[in-house]
Chain A
């Protein structure tokens, strides 16, 4: 089955700086890579996703890049703000089926004022 590794487990950045979270996956059949954000005590929510037919996707201050050859993908947050503080989860799996998603272990991002 799929194995997803996520690094780092914790990340602290100064407000305004950029943050990068990296994930690797093992199954070359995976072609859907979502990122979820979970604020303290809240539910996880999808913030961005990418499919294997594109290498990069942006949505305002967040972007995701994908390298299928190396089997890794990354989340980039620019101009970080205190409200970006949360746990971020990456996931990987075949497209069109949430059932087959495998999640990473999560990254606690803290944005320091």
Chain B
């Protein structure tokens, strides 16, 4: 089934540890995004990539990094996790020039 796959689904992490959330899409979309979802705050953009080899900062990029080595993969890395990064993280993709976002199932991250 075409779509976006995220891993892990859920993770508990000690503060200070490094963590990479994986995201893979098979829709050949040019653009990919990472959002975090927190109660009462909606979806906030962390980082995005308009095409392979390019990335950009969103609304809340601090503490996170991304890479886009190819069209399909867009991993999100927390270099040194902090409790405020406890959240549900959604990867998404879209065709450049089209507004619709296609989301993955989400990754629930708890930082203790």
Which residues of A approach B to under 8 Å, CB–CB? 6, 9, 32, 34, 36, 42-46, 49, 89, 93, 95-99, 101-106
Most chain B C-beta atoms within 10 Å of own C-beta, residue among A36, A46, A99, A105? A99
Provide the B69-112 mask, 1 if CB < 8 A to any CB of A, else 0.
00000000000000000000010101011111101111000000
Question: B106 to A43, Cβ gap below 8 A?
Answer: yes
Question: B99 to A32, Cβ gap below 8 A?
Answer: yes
Instruction: Tell me what chain A mostly uses at the interface: helix, strand, loop, or mixed.
Output: mixed
Nearest to B100 among chain A residues (CB) is A46
Q: Which chain A residues border B14 with CB–CB below 8 Å?
A: none
B23 within 8 Å of A by Cβ? no
Extra inter-chain contacts (6) besides given A36-B101, A96-B99, A105-B40, CB under 8 Å: A98-B92, A99-B31, A101-B99, A102-B59, A103-B43, A106-B40
- A43-B90, A43-B106, A44-B90 known; A98 and B42 CB under 8 Å? no
- A44-B90, A44-B103, A46-B101 known; A99 and B40 CB under 8 Å? no
Q: How many residues of chain B get a CB closer than 8 Å to chain A's CBs?
A: 26
Question: B48 to A103, Cβ gap below 8 A?
Answer: no
Question: B100 to A49, Cβ gap below 8 A?
Answer: yes
Question: B33 to A98, Cβ gap below 8 A?
Answer: yes
- A43-B105, A43-B106 known; A98 and B99 CB under 8 Å? yes
Which residues of B approach A to under 8 Å, CB–CB? 31, 33, 40-45, 48, 50, 56, 58-59, 90, 92, 94, 96-101, 103-106
- A34-B99, A89-B43, A105-B41 known; A99 and B33 CB under 8 Å? yes
- A43-B105, A44-B90 known; A104 and B31 CB under 8 Å? no
Q: Which A-B residue pairs are the 9 nearest by beta carbons? A: A43-B103, A103-B42, A98-B94, A103-B43, A105-B42, A99-B48, A96-B97, A98-B101, A46-B100
Chain A nearest CB from B42 CB (Å) reads 4
Most chain B C-beta atoms within 10 Å of own C-beta, residue among A6, A44, A102? A44
Nearest to B50 among chain A residues (CB) is A99
Q: Which chain B residues border A9 with CB–CB below 8 Å?
A: 40
